[in-house]
Every structure is written in C-alpha cells, then in structure tokens.
Amino acid sequence: MHMQSPPVNSLSLDFLTELCISLEKLEMDKGCRGLIITSVLSNQPKVFSAGLDILEMYGKSPEHCGEFWKVVQEMWLKFYGSNMGSSPAGGCLLSLTCDYRIMADNPRYTIGLNETQLGIVAPFWFKETMVNTVGHRNTEVALQLGLLYKPAEALKIGLVDQLVPEDQVFTVASQTMTKWLTIPGNVSVITTKSTLNLLFSFQLWCFNLV
C-alpha cells in the first residue's frame, strides 16, 4: 500500500478513513496474506508519515474529534507490516502497529513518540504499543523526553527491526514479507497475533466504555 497524501502523509480524518476502508477490503480478500505499507510522496520521499494531522485537533467540534479519535483507534487495531523514513508521533504509532519495521538508513530521518515535545500526552495505547516493542525503561525515557531517534539509535533499542540503504527499502521489505509468508497457512499466524494483542485490545475496549 502506497501512502500518498501530500505534503507529509499526515493522518487526517479523510486519509485515515480511506486507509481503514482499504484495509478492510484487503482483510476480506482471501488472496491477501500480508501488507507492506510505504510512502510514495513525490515531493517528500523522506517522510513516512508526519503523524496525526494537527489541524484535525484544533478548533473542531467534539463530534468531529470523537469521529477522528475512533478512526485513529481503528488504524491501530488493523496494521501488519511497514517500511519508512521519518515517522514522528502518530507516524511512529502507524509503524509500531506493524509486525516488522524496515527503516531507510539515513541519519536525517527520525522516529519516535514526540508528543510531550508538543505539549500533548501520548494516549495509553500509544504508550503500551511502545512498551510492547522496546520495553518499559526505554519507553519511560522516550515518552517523557519526547525523543525522536535517528535510525541507528532506533535499531539499538528495537524500535525498528532493520536498517537498509534508502534505495533498497522496498526490495528488502518484499524479501522479508516472502520469508514471513513461508509460515504455512494463515490461521496459526492470525491466532498467535490475536493472542499477543488480546489483553491490549480488551483494555482499549474498556477504555472506550468509560
């Protein structure tokens, strides 16, 4: 799936809605066993996603905010596999929801949950996804300081799984996907993934009841 929402693939209500509809279609497609998500911005090849669209959070009605927030959670519940350049905040979450992250090895790119730098708080399910990926201590430091990591640092703490030269990102992602798809059948993989996410999904469901 190629993301192409100029200038920086920010996650607006419209963009996220389209993303979720596309994912639902792929889920229903029995021939689809994996997804590689990448950015193909012609003017900004270095940005994976700038995160939530800041303009969606300012001066909007409570109804609009509720709708926006719901679709952000939908996105979190659905994702599979990714490759990328810069990924701040919601862009980082988008990649954290994937099974495997391949980042272009260019020190100009950064990834992380930088919400505190913006004076906002990363929701608990952003935080939990980060804890599940890099552990509690790394998350504690990363979230409180709102750190954005360069590729080598991100690899060191396990925030990304692999660094590759910029022009090889998609080739390596395809090779990696082929390897993951050698696991026979879909059911064992899907069940394992659901088991890993079960408690977390339940927590989010409870949170939405409150």
Number of Cβ within a 10 Å radius of residue 36 = 19
Residue from 7, 135, 158, 165 binding ligand 8Z2 (CB under 6 A): 7
Distance CA 35, CA 79 (A): 8
Cα 36 to Cα 95, 124, 203: the distances in Å are 11, 26, 27
Least separation in angstroms between residue 183's CB and ligand 8Z2 is 32
Residue from 32, 55, 198, 199 binding ligand 8Z2 (CB under 6 A): 55
Q: Which of 16, 19, 52, 143 is catalytic?
A: 52
**Does the CA dihedral 56-123-101-79 come out positive or negative?**
negative
The contact pattern for ligand 8Z2, residues 96-135, with x = CB under 6 A and - = no contact, is: ------------------xx--x-x-xx------------
**How many residues of this chain interact with ligand 8Z2, rule: CB under 6 A?**
25
52 included as an active-site residue: yes
Return the residue matching tokens 């979720």: 20
128 included as an active-site residue: no
Which segment (13-21, 25-33, 65-73, 163-171) binds ligand 8Z2 by CB under 6 A?
A: 65-73
Residue 89 binding ligand 8Z2, by CB under 6 A: yes
Nearer to ligand 8Z2 (CB atom), residue 127 or residue 176? 127
Residue from 1, 26, 54, 155 binding ligand 8Z2 (CB under 6 A): 54
Q: Which residues in this chain contact ligand 8Z2 in the complex, by CB under 6 A?
A: 7-8, 10, 44, 47, 50-55, 57, 65, 68-69, 86, 88-90, 114-115, 118, 120, 122-123
Residues assigned a catalytic role: 52, 90, 114-115
